[in-house]
Structure 1
Amino acid sequence: MRFNKLDLNLLVALDALLSEQNISRAAEKIHLSQSAMSNALARLREYFDDELLVQVGRKMERTPRAEALRENVRDILVRVDATVAAQPEFAPAHANRLFRLLVSDYTMTTLMPHLFKLAYEQAPGIRLDLRPLIAYPHRVLERGEADLLIIPKEYCSAEHPTDLLFEETHCCVVWDRSPLAKGSMTKERYLAAGHVAVQVGDGQTAIADWFIERLGVVRRVEATTYSFMSPAYLLAGTNRIATMHRRLAEEASHSLPIVLREVPIAVPTMEQAMQWHKHRTTDPGLTWLRALLKEAVTAMDKARCNAG
């Protein structure tokens, strides 16, 4: 099919080329031979009257025209996929669809076990692909490489729909033999102690640490880690403090020598949300999955009450 003399099949090749910046990898991505992909690139260069990809040293880089095209081409393909490829209805009991979710290890530990149980009961044939969060996760959503993001509301993109899943508070966690495990946890003791903080990627701080920084509170960070659960495992034998999500801290306290204390500064409640691409709002499968996530939240909190 052609539009304004452009073979629309070339848009798929263009998207792969602009994403991979490598002819061989782009060909592999869309199941073409390398020669076919080279031919597609030649036709695209002729149509746009631009090199699109130029060799710089050992790699290919996008030209300014290619940079301008990249997001628009991806948006077109996502829109086409949402309109044409989406099934008109979704029958969970008979479905074998793959759903890709971007989640942190916090969500992996607290919510995902309940989602997996419910999904297995209602739709045993579906597949769930959990992928780690990265900086600027909405870009993965916009490239069509994920169906749902589960992230703090503050990190959601304003360009796509968002729905609140649940709220989370924070607490201090210390080794149960530390002096900090006894007496009042005052602001002075909190600030005087060494801290274990979480960095989620590219130097981006976790939401609790981000809130604390916004309050103008300066802590002495003595160690950093990339996992939200790991601070609880790094406190034994030290007088350090970790400021953790309360659900995670409670889970860790069942098996680790730690004590939970209240945070002596006003850390706002975290709002954990799910976000999906604006073109997929009416997708029946994603509508079902979003509702199932709400059920999973109810199950998670019920289990938490029973454990408490």
Structure 2
Amino acid sequence: MLDDSNEPWPPRDRAQLRRLNTNLLYALDALLHSPSLTAAAHSIALSQPALSAKLRQLRDHFGDELVVYGDKRRLTALGEALLHRVGRVLREVDDTFNLTLDFDPATAEREITITAPEAIELMFVSRIIPDIRAAAPNIRINMAPFSHGSVQKLFDAGADVAIVPDVMADPSLCRQPLFEHSLSALVSRRHPMAGRKISEAEYLAARHAALSDEMEKALFGDYGPNDPRARRHIVARTSLNSMLPLLAVGSDLVVTTSGWFAQYNAAILPLTVVDLDFARPTSALIAQWQPYRSREPVIQWLVAELTRGVGKVSYRHPEIG
């Protein structure tokens, strides 16, 4: 048996493990995620009295109420702490009992889950999905929601591979660098700044559209109060990368984003990329996966497809220009 470090457990530690009723884990997961006891019972095909009995067992085991039902259902502090952990354990149990080292992309039938910042989905992942599907026609591809912060939480939510900015990468996880990108700006083709470099003073004097702080950090990480992005005059914000360039179309607004994403949108919208004539960060995008899965052929294949895809992605979309 291995822990997160992939080191074998000593026999004495293995002997001290308490025997686990896996059905209790499924019950706990349902109770922590469902809005009511009835809904939890329904989600795992149990009667409400049967699930109530399992809830009593779980409360006895943990010495905690875990979930409190009343006018408003709430989780205890321990219940909150267990919320994502239990899901991760169940996925690892499922991975263990369904693990096969026989993987042929041409015939495999399974789902793979990738998570990436929305801009990376739009201008990178969208370009390589056709190649993945051509190589593995029976594989189902699921793009999971991305959140800035802990990479491990992305895996807790079910990701097989996560594409993250290097500033967010977890050193305890496996990694494969994909590509680098730097900041660029987008403006309308009729904007006075179109077609030239803009200085920091001009950048700060302009009006800007921007992503939410969370979305910007997902691409380039945190930035300090002296960074020009922190001092710009933002008049419009959006939580969608796909919406951001549209805010610059036909307006006087400046949009700051990944150079790759800027070029992608300038090819399909009436926008122009302008260079920023001041220091700006460069960020690498990293593919990460969990060490215990590093020998799985499906993970090795998926990472190889992502790596190959970097060389195939051009700024101009082959179908839409």
Q: TM-score, structure 2 length as denominator? A: 0.81
Post-superposition Cα deviations, 1:130-162, rounded to whole Å, max 9, x if no partner, equal 123234463543425221222212223344322
Provide the C-alpha distance between the structure 2 equivalents of 1:41 and 1:288, rounded to a whole number of angstroms.
41
Q: Where does 1:219-298 land on structure 2 (aligned, <5 Å)? A: 219-298=232-311
Q: How many angstroms does 1:195 deviate by?
A: 1.1
SS of the residue corresponding to residue 141 of structure 1 reads helix
Which residue of 1 is the match for residue 227 of structure 2?
Answer: 215
Post-superposition Cα deviations, 1:216-239, rounded to whole Å, max 9, x if no partner, equal 651111111112243321113322
Which residue of 2 is the match for residue 166 of structure 1?
Answer: 179
Selected match of 2:205 from 157, 179, 192: 192
Provide the C-alpha distance between the structure 2 equivalents of 1:178 and 1:165, rounded to a whole number of angstroms.
33
Post-superposition Cα deviations, 1:272-296, rounded to whole Å, max 9, x if no partner, equal 1122233322222122111111111
SS of the residue corresponding to residue 231 of structure 2 reads coil
Post-superposition Cα deviations, 1:11-52, rounded to whole Å, max 9, x if no partner, equal 222233234464344334444444432222122223333322
Selected match of 2:56 from 42, 46, 53: 42
Given residue 215 of structure 1, which amino acid in structure 2 is its aligned partner?
D
Selected match of 1:58 from 65, 72, 81: 72
Provide the C-alpha distance between the structure 2 equivalents of 1:136 and 1:99, rounded to a whole number of angstroms.
22
Alpha carbons 1:197, 1:221 under 8 Å: kept? yes
Q: How many angstroms does 1:183 deviate by?
A: 5.4
Question: Which structure shows the bigger proportion of residues in strand conformation?
Answer: 1
Q: How many angstroms does 1:80 deviate by?
A: 2.9
Alpha carbons 2:24, 2:54 under 8 Å: kept? yes
Structure 1 unaligned spans of 5+ = none
Higher mean C-alpha deviation, range 247-256 or range 117-126: 247-256
Given residue 60 of structure 1, which amino acid in structure 2 is its aligned partner?
R
Given residue 22 of structure 2, which amino acid in structure 1 is its aligned partner?
L
Higher mean C-alpha deviation, range 255-264 or range 25-34: 25-34
SS of the residue corresponding to residue 120 of structure 1 reads helix
Which residue of 1 is the match for residue 21 of structure 2?
Answer: 7
Given residue 44 of structure 1, which amino acid in structure 2 is its aligned partner?
L
SS of the residue corresponding to residue 301 of structure 2 reads helix
Which residue of 1 is the match for residue 9 of structure 2?
Answer: none
Provide the C-alpha distance between the structure 2 equivalents of 1:33 and 1:270, rounded to a whole number of angstroms.
52
SS of the residue corresponding to residue 129 of structure 1 reads strand
Given residue 190 of structure 1, which amino acid in structure 2 is its aligned partner?
Y
Which residue of 1 is the match for residue 40 of structure 2?
Answer: 26
Provide the C-alpha distance between the structure 2 equivalents of 1:113 and 1:74, rounded to a whole number of angstroms.
28
SS of the residue corresponding to residue 37 of structure 1 reads helix
Given residue 196 of structure 1, which amino acid in structure 2 is its aligned partner?
A
Given residue 108 of structure 1, which amino acid in structure 2 is its aligned partner?
E
Given residue 184 of structure 2, which amino acid in structure 1 is its aligned partner?
C
Given residue 250 of structure 2, which amino acid in structure 1 is its aligned partner?
G
- Is 1:147 matched with 2:170? no
Q: TM-score, structure 1 length as denominator? A: 0.84
SS of the residue corresponding to residue 222 of structure 1 reads strand
Given residue 49 of structure 1, which amino acid in structure 2 is its aligned partner?
G
- Is 1:96 matched with 2:109? yes
Higher mean C-alpha deviation, range 96-105 or range 130-139: 130-139
- Is 1:181 matched with 2:188? no
Alpha carbons 2:91, 2:158 under 8 Å: kept? no
SS of the residue corresponding to residue 114 of structure 1 reads helix
Given residue 58 of structure 2, which amino acid in structure 1 is its aligned partner?
L
SS of the residue corresponding to residue 154 of structure 1 reads coil
Alpha carbons 1:164, 1:274 under 8 Å: kept? yes
Q: Where does 1:84-163 land on structure 2 (aligned, <5 Å)? A: 84-136=97-149, 138-163=151-176
